[in-house]
Amino acid sequence: MRGNPDHPYTRGSLCVKVNRYLEHTRADDRILHPLRRTGPKGSGRFERISWDEALEEISVRLRGIIQEHGGEAVWPYQGTGSLGFVQGCEGAAGRRFWNVLGASRHWLNICSTAGNTGLTLTNGTPGGMDPEDFALSRLILLWGTNTLTSGHHLWKFVQDARADGAHVVAIDPIRTRTADQADQHLAIRPGTDAALALGLLNVVLAEGAQDEEFLAEHTEGWAAFREEILSHPVAKVAEITGIPAEDIHSLGIRLARTRPTAIRATMGIQRHAGGGTAMRTIAAIPGVTGDWRHPGGGVSYSTSGHLRLGVDTREDLLAAPVRTLTMTRLASELGSVKCLWVYGANPVGSTSDTNAIRRELRRDDLFTVVMEQFPTDTVDYADIVLPATMQTEHLDLHAGYGHLYLQWNEPAVEPPGECLSTTETFRRLARHMGLTEPSLYDSDLELAGQLLAGDHPSLEGITLDRLRKEGWVRLNHPKPFLPFADGFPTPSGRLRFPPAGEAYVPPLSVRTAGGSPYGLTLITPAAHTFLNTVFGNNPELRRRAKEPVVLVNPADAAERGLVSGQRARVHNDRGEFLADVEVSDRVARGVVASPKGRWPKHSPGGANANAVVEERDADLGRGAVYHDNLVEVSPCAGP
């Protein structure tokens, strides 16, 4: 396995994790057969059973639960383990089957919904710049994104721009490896980005650098937003954000004078109480500067808004309307559920408030099925485990959220053991249950064909034959791509500025105003060596990741008697996890950081950062608040 140098976006490079993918497919701990639980829930003790036994037990339990409690007592909990459109969450694989049974709907809000909602309020779509066009930019703001860790392919385009003289600024509470490589780093107080956006625009207005023509032709709500900007002078914004006034002023001047300016803001920024609003207000910047007119200008969050495949989950198969259960509310919403069906997800590693989740998963009246490749902490609570295929073993069609290509994934090898793909598992289960709806039996190729049969203009000229032959195809968007040069996909066709009083929502630390016994804001960003919890069991990647660490600012460490290398408890009312202290000025006063993605069972104390994360919604789109939790860090007693 190697990267393809001809691919326009990756240009042949793989990341440190995917480089080990083939080795991972053959790992010793791969689940190869269906399993039935033999020990108490959580113990991870299982016996091997046949597929027939597994399907029979599942059919009987599902029928019984639906008869007694109704279909809505079943929660198909699908995660982001695969982003494929045939096998994974993008195409909501399995949903036709669940619709026939009348199961609850599942809302996958764990990742990006706050930002999507904020951007859509401003621009009418979460889609923005083509990341490849960053090569054309003169000023690049890497804002709440750790490019070199979580989306490194963009970096080559940043470097291209730099070769032409572009200035690169990282805006992040942590001095990340990306910030190290940038020309400048602004260490912002977590959750205050919307205020910074207003402060930068304040300087733009003072310089008279707003694009009056663009404002008049392509925006609405300018008068009120202008007032909002004027009420955020640099001094006030410096106080809110903790960034020195000179730095805000000088970046404001750069922004005023540099066209095109490209802003890359990804998911880190929206994992906060005010995260949706942060994206909404940042998206207003190119509306004021007119950057959307210029190739290499604008905002990039996700490209997924520029694609619409013909995903047909056959909602007409539902006999009656059903409720929707929320992914990030697993612990609190599981109470009314009798069957939890987990696939492509590892909630005991990735979802908020793990201790509360574990308490629910231990319930005797809950029937839990997990389709998995590896014995995760979530698998430990399953009644039945079904062995799942990996990318090299199943057919799929992928898009990216950081580029504009469709990818074909042809299975390269036979699945090992008795592993089955998601689609094949649901076909076999439907057959075992005697379901007669024909569309439950569509083959993977038929499903792929249906996806491409959508009538969205981005799919024009893309056929299944062509995709299979060429391997990847660029969506039907020009290059360079000016998505909003002629208007926005809002009802009025105009960019909508945030209304008065809605441009900044403060973070938890400000809301509690020192009233919390927990004085430190914990950020839990992407780990360099893991992909969420995927690869968290890979021996080489675990070796490179070393022991979990928590970064603590020297002043905060001194107050608590913490020294580097010492094991500490990071804790609050919900729980705790253990990590080795690294005293470092990479984090500002009041901020601590510990990357996500560790398997609890492979971590000291059996817990990861999600033991302290609250089940709480962001301001928009009910996004998660992974970087907006208050904790204390205390030395561990004993050795």
Ligand X SMILES: Nc1nc2c(c(=O)[nH]1)N[C@H]1C(S)=C(S)[C@@H](COP(=O)(O)OP(=O)(O)OC[C@H]3O[C@@H](n4cnc5c(=O)[nH]c(N)nc54)[C@H](O)[C@@H]3O)O[C@H]1N2
Contacting positions for ligand X (CB under 6 A): 79-82, 87, 110-111, 143-146, 149-151, 171-174, 176, 188, 190-191, 193, 266-269, 271-272, 343-347, 349-350, 371-374, 376, 388, 422, 523-528, 530-534, 596-597, 609-610, 613, 626-627
Q: Which amino acid, 230?
A: L
Is residue 569 within a helix (H) or strand (E), and if so which, with residue range? Answer: strand 567-572
Cβ proximity to Mo ion: between 111 and 179 the closer is 111
Which does residue 167 touch among Mo ion, ligand X, none (CB within 5 to 8 A, set by kind)?
A: none
Which does residue 266 touch among Mo ion, ligand X, none (CB within 5 to 8 A, set by kind)?
A: ligand X
Residue 7's Cα: distance from chain center in Å? 24
Report the relative pairing of strands 549-552 and 575-583 from DSSP bridges: parallel
Q: Which of 129, 128, 182, 130 is CA-nearest to residue 159?
A: 182
Q: Which tokens belong to 375?
A: 């014995």
Is residue 552 within a helix (H) or strand (E), and if so which, with residue range? Answer: strand 549-552
Cβ proximity to Mo ion: between 111 and 581 the closer is 111
Quote the least distance from Cβ 247 to ligand X, whole Å: 14
Q: Which tokens belong to 599?
A: 């398997």
Quote the least distance from Cβ 287 to Mo ion, whole Å: 27
Quote the least distance from Cβ 620 to ligand X, whole Å: 15
Which does residue 34 touch among Mo ion, ligand X, none (CB within 5 to 8 A, set by kind)?
A: none
Concatenated DSSP letters of 327-378: GGGHHHHGGG-SEEEEES--HHHHSS-HHHHHHHHT-TT-EEEEEESS--TT
- Is 267 in a helix, a strand, or coil? helix
Determine the Cα–Cα distance for residues 226 and 497; give it in Å rounded to an integer. Answer: 9
Quote the least distance from Cβ 74 to Mo ion, whole Å: 25
Which does residue 292 touch among ligand X, Mo ion, none (CB within 5 to 8 A, set by kind)?
A: none
Burial of 309 per CB tally in 10 Å (0-12, 13-18, 19+): buried
Cβ proximity to Mo ion: between 137 and 328 the closer is 328
Quote the least distance from Cβ 457 to ligand X, whole Å: 27
Quote the least distance from Cβ 301 to Mo ion, whole Å: 12
Q: Which residue is nearest to Mo ion (CB)?
A: 111
Quote the least distance from Cβ 195 to Mo ion, whole Å: 25
Quote the least distance from Cβ 524 to ligand X, whole Å: 4
Which does residue 123 touch among Mo ion, ligand X, none (CB within 5 to 8 A, set by kind)?
A: none
Using the structure block, give the residue that is written with the tokens 């990804």: 266
User: Residue 422 contacts by C-beta under 8 Å, 6 or more apart in sequence?
Assistant: 82, 87, 88, 93, 94, 343, 344, 371, 388, 389, 394
Which does residue 346 touch among ligand X, Mo ion, none (CB within 5 to 8 A, set by kind)?
A: ligand X
Cβ proximity to ligand X: between 443 and 492 the closer is 443
Cβ proximity to ligand X: between 131 and 221 the closer is 131
Quote the least distance from Cβ 237 to ligand X, whole Å: 14
Which does residue 71 touch among ligand X, Mo ion, none (CB within 5 to 8 A, set by kind)?
A: none
Helix, strand, coil % in the chain, rounded to nearest 5: 40, 15, 45
Cβ proximity to ligand X: between 459 and 579 the closer is 579
Cβ proximity to Mo ion: between 272 and 427 the closer is 272
> What residues does 77 pair with on adjacent strands?
342
- Degrees (nearest 5) of the Cα angle 114, 268, 258? 100
Q: Which amino acid, 363?
A: R
User: Residue 41 contacts by C-beta under 8 Å, 6 or more apart in sequence?
Assistant: 361, 362, 363, 364, 368, 380, 381, 383
Quote the least distance from Cβ 90 to ligand X, whole Å: 12
Determine the Cα–Cα distance for residues 521 and 551; give it in Å rounded to an integer. Answer: 11
Where on the chain is the footprint of Mo ion (CB under 5 A)? Answer: 111
Cβ proximity to ligand X: between 79 and 290 the closer is 79
Report the relative pairing of strands 167-171 and 184-186 from DSSP bridges: parallel
Determine the Cα–Cα distance for residues 309 and 616; give it in Å rounded to an integer. Answer: 32
Cβ proximity to ligand X: between 351 and 450 the closer is 351
Cβ proximity to Mo ion: between 178 and 450 the closer is 178
Cβ proximity to Mo ion: between 110 and 592 the closer is 110
Quote the least distance from Cβ 189 to ligand X, whole Å: 8
- Is residue 480 reached through a cis peptide bond, with omega within 30 degrees of 0 on the bond before it? yes
Determine the Cα–Cα distance for residues 274 and 328; give it in Å rounded to an integer. Answer: 17
Quote the least distance from Cβ 158 to ligand X, whole Å: 14
Which does residue 295 touch among Mo ion, ligand X, none (CB within 5 to 8 A, set by kind)?
A: none
Cβ proximity to Mo ion: between 381 and 401 the closer is 401
